[in-house]
Amino acid sequence: MARHVTVRTGTRAVVTVDGLVVAVLDPGRHRLPGRRSRRAVEVVDVRENLLLITSQEAAALDVPGVRFAIAVRLRTVDPVAFGTVSQSPLDDVRLSAQVAARDWIAARTLQDVLTERAGATADLTAGVAAGVARFGVEVLEVALRDVTVPGEVRRGLLELAVARHESAARLERARGETAALRALANGTRALQDNPALLQLRTVQAAVERGGQVVLHVGEVAG
């Protein structure tokens, strides 16, 4: 192995001698410490990375089989921890994001899942970031993507929405009919209690139809 190494931009080089980390090299050309036979160099990419987790499924509070994907933006901030704490740190990030997303969906109705996407991003990012920081990874964002439900569930939801709309319409019609009957009953009682109102209403109806009204006035006794 050469005594010098050139570290490219966007990477770091972790140098070990006899299995122990002795240096983390930034971009540039560096002279390597230790004997070649006892030295190892591992290059770690520290650029921002996108981890896309597809074909996920979870049950919401009111709907089973919610399908979704998860997009995780992350980067390595501690090359030593990234290479030593876990055998597969990206798999650990993937698992943490899957569990967090399923738990988040399971605690909400489908409507909330669809309308609280911004809140989901904030909640999932904070939760996943805290859980995987020890692997030398900084999680920048965890977002739900492509949230859908199976076709049969969509049809069921549509039928439910139609049924609710028709039920509300029937209820509104019933309320209108009840109000009309109540008004008619009140009017009937008023006419029964005041016969003069019936005569007045008769005169009013005749005038509205253009009829002629003849009033008979009795003689006044002398």
Tens-place pLDDT, residues 70-88: 999 999 999 999 999 999 9
Order of strands, edge to edge, in the sheet holding 137-148? 49-58, 66-76, 137-148
CATH number assigned to the domain with residue range 49-149, chosen from the 4 options 1.10.3720.10, 3.40.109.10, 3.30.479.30, 3.30.450.20: 3.30.479.30
Model pLDDT for residues 57-73, shown as the tens digit of each residue: 999 998 888 999 999 99
> How many residues appear in the chain?
222
| Predicted pLDDT at 165 | 66
pLDDT, residue 141, reads 97
Smallest CA-to-CA distance from 142 within 114, 112, 122, 162 is with 122
CB 124 within 8 A of CB 142: yes
Mean pLDDT (whole number) for 163-189: 71
Q: Output 212 or 3, whichever has higher pLDDT.
A: 3
Residue 94 has pLDDT above 70, yes or no: yes
User: Please, which residues have CB within 8 angstroms of residue 76's CB and are 6 or more apart in sequence?
Assistant: 44, 45, 46, 82, 136, 137, 138
Question: Domains of the chain: which residue ranges?
Answer: 4-45, 49-149, 155-207
> Is pLDDT at 222 greater than 50 in this prediction?
no
pLDDT at 186 over 80: no
The predicted pLDDT at position 38 comes to: 87
- The pLDDT of residue 215 is above 60: no
Q: Which two tokens stand for residue 211?
A: 């009829």
Integer Cα distance of 207 and 213 in angstroms: 7
Asked if residue 66 lies in contact with residue 110, where contact means CB atoms within 8 angstroms, the answer is yes
Total-model pTM: 0.65
Token reading at 192? 């029964």
